[in-house]
Amino acid sequence: MEVPVKLICLLGLLLAVGVAETAGPCGKSSPDDESMKLAPCLIAAQDEKADVPGSCCMAVKKIGQNPSCLCAILLSDSAKSSGIKPDVALTIPKRCNIANRPVGYKCGPYTLP
C-alpha cells in the first residue's frame, strides 16, 4: 500500500515541475498572445507625442504588475512586426501616470523611466 502512495507523490512532483518549466514571463500565455491586450496602445507605442487612450493605460497597468511579462511583450516578434518602438512604448506607464510602475526596470537594452 505504501508504494502506490509514493508513486502518486512522485508523479505529482514531476507534474508540478513540468508545469513550472512551461510557464514563461507571462505565465501560460506567450508574450505574442498577451500583446493583443495592448492593441489600444499601438499609436502611443510608436509616437511619444501621441495621446495614450484610457483603455491602453488600463491594460498596461494590469500587465505591468508583472514587469517581466510587459518587457517580453515589448520585445516580442508581434511588437516588432507592428512597428512598436520599445523605447517609446516603455514611456507609456509614465505617460499614464501609473504610480506603482516599475521605474528603473531593465528591459533588454532599455530602462523603464
Residue 17 has a pLDDT of: 42
Q: Which stretch of DSSP H or E encloses residue 25?
A: none
CA angle 79, 85, 87 (to 5 degrees): 125
User: Which domains occur in the chain, in start order?
Assistant: 25-111 (1.10.110.10)
Q: What are phi and psi of 104, to 5 degrees?
A: 80, 5
- On the CB side of 11, how many CA atoms lie within 13 Å of its CA? 6
Nine-digit cell string for 84: 512598436
pTM greater than the 0.85 cutoff: no
Residues of the chain with pLDDT below 70 are 1-22, 112
CA angle 109, 44, 46 (to 5 degrees): 55
> What's the pLDDT tens digit per position in 84-105?
999 999 899 999 999 887 777 7
How many angstroms from the chain centroid is the CA of residue 29?
A: 9
How many angstroms from the chain centroid is the CA of residue 1?
A: 46
